Amino acid sequence: MPLVSRWFGGNARLQTCLVSDPAHVVTGDSGDHVSLVQEALVVLDEARIAPEEIAGRLYGKSTAAAVLSYKKKRGIINRAYQTVADNIVGKMTIRSLDDEISAKELQRSRSLLAFKVPEQPLGLIISQSHPFPNRWATQVEQAHKTLLKKKPSPAGPPAVAVRQLQALIRSAGPNGLLLFAVGHGIAKSDFSASGGFDLAERTVLRIGGVGSSRDPKTFANVFYDEKPPPNATIKFSEKEIDERTRPAGSDRRLKNFALFQTLSQTFRETKPLIVLLTCRVGLSRDFLQKVSDIWQSPILAYDDFITYEADVRDNRILLRVRAILDRDKGKFGTPNPGTNTTFAETMIPISIRDMSLFFPR
Residues 226 and 106 in one domain: no
Residues in CB range of 12: below 8 A, 6 or more apart: none
For residue 53, the model assigns a pLDDT of 83
Give the span between the Cα atoms of 342 and 257, in whole angstroms: 41
Residues in CB range of 41: below 8 A, 6 or more apart: 47, 49, 63, 66, 67, 70, 97
For residue 110, the model assigns a pLDDT of 43
Residues 213 and 297 in one domain: yes
Whether 118 is covered by a domain: the verdict is no
Residues 179 and 298 in one domain: yes
Considering 58, 88, 111, which residue would you say is the last residue of a domain? 111
Considering 111, 136, 152, which residue would you say is the last residue of a domain? 111
Considering 82, 111, 140, which residue would you say is the last residue of a domain? 111
Give the span between the Cα atoms of 166 and 164, in whole angstroms: 5
Residues 208 and 171 in one domain: yes
Residues 100 and 131 in one domain: no
Whether 326 is covered by a domain: the verdict is yes
| Domain hosting residue 78, numbered range | 12-111
Residues 87 and 200 in one domain: no
pLDDT tens column, 18-62: 999 999 999 999 988 998 898 889 888 888 888 788 777 899 999
For residue 116, the model assigns a pLDDT of 46
Contacts 24+ apart (CB under 8 A), 82-88: 87/27, 88/24, 88/25, 88/26, 88/27, 88/64
Whether 5 is covered by a domain: the verdict is no
Residues 100 and 167 in one domain: no
> By the 8 A CB rule, do 196 and 209 touch?
yes
Whether 136 is covered by a domain: the verdict is yes
For residue 7, the model assigns a pLDDT of 80
Residues 77 and 35 in one domain: yes
Whether 274 is covered by a domain: the verdict is yes
How many other C-beta atoms are found inside a 10 Å radius of the C-beta of residue 32?
A: 17
For residue 105, the model assigns a pLDDT of 66
Among 237, 198, 240, 233, which residue's Cα sits nearest to residue 215? 198
Whether 129 is covered by a domain: the verdict is yes
Residues 266 and 209 in one domain: yes
Ranges of residues in the chain with a pLDDT under 50 are 108-121
| Count: domains in the chain | 2
Sheet strand arrangement including 299-302: 148-152, 123-127, 177-181, 273-276, 299-302, 355-358
Residues 83 and 211 in one domain: no
Residues 68 and 42 in one domain: yes
Whether 116 is covered by a domain: the verdict is no
Residues 135 and 82 in one domain: no
Whether 6 is covered by a domain: the verdict is no
